[in-house]
Amino acid sequence: MKLDFDKESQIFHLSNTHISYVFGVLRNGHLGHYYYGSKIDGPFQVAYFRKAVNRGLTNYLYEDDFSFSLSHERLEYPCFGTTDYRMPAIHLRDKKGSNVVDFKYVSHLVISEKPEITGLPCARGMGETLTLIVTLEDSLLGATLELTYTIYSELPVITRSARLKNTGDHPLVIHQLLSMNLDFYDSDFDVIHLHGDWIKERHVERFPLHYGLQSIGSSRGASSAIHNPFMALARKACTEHVGEAYGISLVYSGNFTIGAEVDSDGHTRLSAGINPFQFQWTLNEGEVFSSPEAVLTYSNTGLNGLSQSLHRFITDQIIHPKYKGRLNQILINNWEATYFDFNEQKLMAIAKEASALGVELFVLDDGWFGRRNSDRAGLGDWYVNLEKLPGGIGQLSKAVHEMGLKFGLWIEPEMVNKDTALFKSHPEWVIGDPERPRSHGRNQFVLDYGRPEVVDAIYEQLIQVLDHASVDYLKWDMNRNITEAFSTLLGERQGELYHRYILGVYALYTRLLARYPEMIIESCAAGGGRFDMGMFYYAPQAWTSDNSDAVERLKIQYGTSMAYPLSAMGAHVTAIPNHQVKRSTSLKLRADVAYFGSFGYELDLTKLSVEDKAEIREQIAFYKANRETFLHGDFYRLISPFEGDRNITAWQVVSKGGLRSILGYYQVLAKPNEGLKTIKPVGLNPHGRYRVSCMESPVSGSFLMNFGILMKPAFNGIESTEVHDGDYQSRLILIDQI
């Protein structure tokens, strides 16, 4: 891991054993981008780049010189205002109203410590890292710009962020300050991204890059289920297993944009950061504004390689080190078991069954506070509802602990219902224009977390509950997006609302974790509506989706795994008919899908048959025996539910060390008169000998990976002897090295 800086050519070459990242100072002092990809041995020869030619109808920077135009350069952090017309990274307004900016290289610094970004989550700099900070200046404007690059010893990853300081004597207005920009010499890519909505989060879409700008983003106040803050550019020939791909993720939970723009030369610009739409930040004299961090990942081993690097990066650099290697607790959540209709007896009965079956954590969901008997009331009144729980959370958590279970509690601290003391006493704390109607979502309104006093007030209420109970786990929910984005505090600075909001959310996370360092927070946003690296900085796991139907979960978990590790993905077995899609599937299928995540149950255990309980006991024992492999093994996607006839999904985990591998194979619908199929596991030792749960005698790793495992059709239309015939089938194949 090193930085080579060539003084003469002014070229920076950041590298580790996997990658090289190369950029340099251009003739006009701006930074030009040269290369990001597989490791290249230096020196990096770019002198011939300088021999630019006259391109005809182009605008040039120097008089009587037709050789230098930013239009045809690959740029590192493009400024708006001169000869480059593509999406800029920085767009400001000065006191004259001018938008022209010109940041030129001044100096650079190399440090071994990974800097933090004040108020924002970012990679932690665990292990060996190297950080390069390049300072640029626009002296006329009175501003300096610091671009920060960190490279990590074992990962093909570069993280980047930008920091603007007003060094002048008048305020500046920031319209756009992106986290990163990466220009490529070609556009031979497909775009891959994760789109969706509530109960259909992070579905995979792949399409060829075309001329012009194609972008994803959010303007909802949360990263959202509509688009996830992740995009990959994959070479056309890139599959799950081979080929080149680049990933870009943001460590941010608010409004974002990620865009790929192909220019007339067929070159591609990839950029990401805070969404400039609805963003405008006044930077007064002496003040600093930092962009969120962007994570650039490179793979030459296909999309699985890209995902595995991201999984490792999130586990090692984003999630707090105190959770490293953590064996997520198997939980029971009462939401789909009771909804709002519960009392202490009911909860205790569920907890008792759970404890007997081997569950480890009981999570009390929505409905324990205020007058919360439906979603019309209660949010904002964070005191216990004594009608439901006469002994309070203190007594309940004690009783749950006495059963040998940990205790978890649900909150939704960013929201308020109208019929609460909080709403009545402080209507100005609610986001919205007082002169216009406010839209509701699930009968609730969003608190203005950009106001420090709001964060204080919610914190004070929450600690009254948490201080007087023993809460091991907090489920932090967020069930609607911002509308009528207006803060009575901000006056003309409304463009700051969304970013200030998310800074307030991060501040409350920080304060709660400081006060309760042992408590684990699960993030949730009506399921996966804020499933991003920003959240994982605070909360090591998230509720993946409110959709717990096993068939729908194949797509959701497959897509989510593209950018996030299994340990972060909450996956529960729920009742049938399923509450979201009314589908009935076997208990086996529901568990076979949920094992590939942070496992739990969300159903009324007191209503199950003796047979079902026996099966659940076995499932829990199986998960416990293989938990480390599921949560921390290497995950491979094998067959996509988004491709082909979309009927088969397959994936696989390989334990650290490779001794055990578990392959999940899922068939949605039975097909008539089907022949044999094969499935080829990956990630095995070709020379190793393996015992396979569905084969009679051991075989070699090379046999398994090349010939594969023959799969009997679920139902061939003639005879049906297997119990597991028909629709909605799954098989788990255990592959053990001998």
Residue whose CB is less far from ligand GLA, 183 or 366 = 366
Residue whose CB is less far from ligand GLA, 365 or 634 = 365
Query: Pick the catalytic residue: 94, 183, 477, 549?
Result: 477
Length of the chain equals 738
Amino acid letter for position 483: T
Residue nearest to ligand GLA (CB): 366
**Cα–Cα distance, 328 to 628 (Å, whole number):** 9
**Cα–Cα distance, 115 to 290 (Å, whole number):** 12
ω into residue 171 within 30 of 0, thus cis?
Answer: no
Report whether 518 contacts 472 (CB < 8 A): yes
Residue whose CB is less far from ligand GLA, 22 or 471 = 471
Residue whose CB is less far from ligand GLA, 76 or 477 = 477
In the complex, minimum distance from the CB of residue 381 to ligand GLA, in angstroms, rounded to a whole number = 15
- Give the pair of three-digit tokens for residue 298: 């490179």
Residue whose CB is less far from ligand GLA, 103 or 543 = 543
Residue whose CB is less far from ligand GLA, 333 or 640 = 333
**Cα–Cα distance, 596 to 591 (Å, whole number):** 9
In the complex, minimum distance from the CB of residue 457 to ligand GLA, in angstroms, rounded to a whole number = 22
Amino acid letter for position 555: K
In the complex, minimum distance from the CB of residue 198 to ligand GLA, in angstroms, rounded to a whole number = 8
CA distances from 424 to 47, 145, 260, 455 (A): 68, 44, 46, 17
Report whether 87 contacts 271 (CB < 8 A): yes
**Cα–Cα distance, 396 to 400 (Å, whole number):** 6
Query: Pick the catalytic residue: 546, 549, 592, 634?
Result: 546
Contacts to ligand GLA by CB under 6 A? 335, 365-366, 410, 477, 479, 524, 526-527, 543, 546
Report whether 40 contacts 49 (CB < 8 A): no
**Cα–Cα distance, 663 to 698 (Å, whole number):** 16
In the complex, minimum distance from the CB of residue 267 to ligand GLA, in angstroms, rounded to a whole number = 42
CA-wise closest residue to 459 among 507, 501, 498: 507
Residue whose CB is less far from ligand GLA, 448 or 477 = 477
**DSSP 8-state assignment for residue 427:** G
Calculate helix-pair angle for 587-594, 550-561, nearest 10 degrees.
10
H/E run at residue 668: none
In the complex, minimum distance from the CB of residue 106 to ligand GLA, in angstroms, rounded to a whole number = 48
Does the annotation mark 546 as catalytic?
yes
Does the annotation mark 477 as catalytic?
yes
In the complex, minimum distance from the CB of residue 411 to ligand GLA, in angstroms, rounded to a whole number = 10
Q: Which residues of 410-444 are buried (b: 16+ CB within 10 A; e: fewer)?
A: bbbbbbbbbbbebbeebeebbbbeeeeebeeeebb
Task: Give 176-189 as a DSSP string.
Answer: EE-SEEEEES---E
CA-wise closest residue to 680 among 706, 702, 698: 706
In the complex, minimum distance from the CB of residue 603 to ligand GLA, in angstroms, rounded to a whole number = 13
- Give the pair of three-digit tokens for residue 125: 């700099």
Residue whose CB is less far from ligand GLA, 121 or 527 = 527
**Cα–Cα distance, 259 to 319 (Å, whole number):** 26
In the complex, minimum distance from the CB of residue 564 to ligand GLA, in angstroms, rounded to a whole number = 17
**Cα–Cα distance, 292 to 70 (Å, whole number):** 26
Looking at the annotation, which residues are catalytic?
A: 477, 546
